[in-house]
């Protein structure tokens, strides 16, 4: 991919999140592409991305995704992001990184890396405790 093609991909990916547009996500993906994320209990097919977005929107209608940074090498694109939403009247945010393998301009594979501990603590009502106290 050229630098311009990579920039276009990152821009379209961020725009799809900003609009929460299932069709825009589907246009980014190979139908046989695979999404691996700790947020879902199984690997998601590219053809299912619009439905996954519907489920996420129902669960968190105020969810906002923001692009923080990105880089690439060959057919691999790395995107750093932050998401926010209001939980129990307070702003809650967390960060992560997505690693994409791009084939013919579309996502063949996406792996999401993020710390799910804050989300799990939020779901159970437990206080998040640091692993190392310093």
Q: Cα 12 to the chain's mean position, in Å?
A: 13
- Of residues 14 and 131, more confidently modeled: 14
The length of the chain, given as a count of residues: 134
The answer to whether residues 5 and 19 touch, using CB atoms and an 8 Å cutoff, is: no
Kindly tell me if the per-residue pLDDT of 117 is higher than 90. Answer: no
Which of 132, 97, 133, 129 lies closest to 115, judged by CA? Answer: 97
Residue 123 pLDDT greater than 80, yes or no = no
pLDDT for 102 equals: 95
**What would the pLDDT profile of 81-106 be if each residue is shown by its tens digit?**
999 988 777 788 889 999 999 999 89
What CATH class has 3-123?
alpha beta
**How far, in Å, CA of 67 to CA of 83, rounded?**
9
Domain ranges of the chain: 3-123
The phi, psi pair for 91, rounded to 5°, reads -70, 130
Distances (CA, A) of 15 to 11, 91, 98, 119: 6, 22, 15, 25
Confidence of residue 131 (pLDDT cuts 50, 70, 90): confident
> Tens digit of pLDDT for each residue in 31-84?
899 999 998 989 999 888 888 888 888 888 888 999 999 999 999 999 999 999
């Amino acid at each position: 991919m050229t630098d311009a093609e990579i920039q276009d991909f990152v821009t379209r990916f961020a725009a799809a999140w900003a609009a929460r547009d299932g069709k825009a996500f589907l246009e980014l993906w190979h139908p046989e592409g695979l999404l691996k994320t700790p947020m879902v209990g199984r690997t998601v097919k590219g053809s299912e991305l619009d439905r996954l977005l519907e489920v996420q929107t129902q669960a968190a209608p105020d969810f906002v995704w923001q692009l923080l940074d990105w880089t690439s090498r060959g057919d691999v694109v790395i995107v750093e992001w932050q998401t926010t939403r209001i939980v129990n009247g307070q702003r809650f945010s967390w960060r992560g990184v997505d690693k994409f393998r791009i084939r013919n301009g579309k996502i063949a594979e996406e792996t999401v890396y993020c710390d799910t501990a804050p989300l799990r603590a939020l779901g159970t009502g437990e206080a998040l405790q640091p692993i190392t106290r310093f």
